[in-house]
Amino acid sequence: MIALKRVYEEPDPGDGLRILVDRLWPRGIKKEAAHLDSWEKDLAPSDDLRRWFAHDPEKWPEFRRRFREELADKGTLLHELARQAGKGRVTLLYAAKDEEHNNAVVLKELLEEQGHGR
């Protein structure tokens, strides 16, 4: 199963494997406080795409399309993430304030469409 959670929320034992999927380290949080199992920068949008999007909901449809294109080149990483989700709960962590328009949402959607993480 794949879940989403802001990295600023309290860690919970029910989170399972905690994976940060942002390219930049979240502001104001110490690495120990994040309780990460891994930080997968390569599953985050490119710097150019991240800057272009700038968390603007108006750009959401185009961001989703472009980010999915970038993820198409990440087959090995996606396969590993899907494998981990098949073993138990995986929580994708992100820093964005917008819980509906962020890269972790797109990543989860993609994995679920491929039949993983439900």
Exposure letters 45-66 (e unless 16+ CB within 10 A, then b) = beeebbeebeeeeeebeebbeb
In the chain, domain spans: 1-23+55-118
* Mean model confidence pLDDT for the chain: 94
Q: What values do phi and psi take at 65, rounded to 5?
A: -65, -50
Which tokens hold the place of 60?
A: 């959401």
Residue with tokens 């959607």: 109
**pLDDT band for position 6 (cuts 50, 70, 90):** very high
Whole-model pTM: value is 0.93
Query: Does the pLDDT of residue 117 top 60, yes or no?
Result: no
CA distance 104 to 96: 9
What are the pLDDT digits (tens) for 23-75?
999 999 999 999 999 999 999 999 999 999 999 999 999 999 999 999 999 99
